[in-house]
Amino acid sequence: MGKNTGNGTRIGLTKNRHQFKHPTNSQWMKVNSNTGKFLGSRSEPWKNIRIKKTAKCPSARNSTASATRSTTTRRRKKKIR
């Protein structure tokens, strides 16, 4: 874990966390690397937390892709019956 020095800086990176810029709302999201849970968001990046350049965010998926998936599953269900 990073240690605070008392004058606005920190020595070392915070372990088991990373951050990325959300593609749809332009917020910086902080994520626990072990569990994958979101810890928070804000408009500026956090200090001393690792930045991931690419993020796989479920809300950033294309909505048309999910629509085509649902129609193909419907067709499969009809063929099985």
Model confidence over 38-77: pLDDT tens digits? 999 999 998 888 998 765 555 555 544 444 455 555 555 5
Three-state SS at 28: strand
pLDDT of residue 74: 56
- Nearest-Å Rg of the Cα atoms of the chain is 19
Which H helix or E strand runs over 13? none
CA atoms within 13 A on the CB side of 81: 6
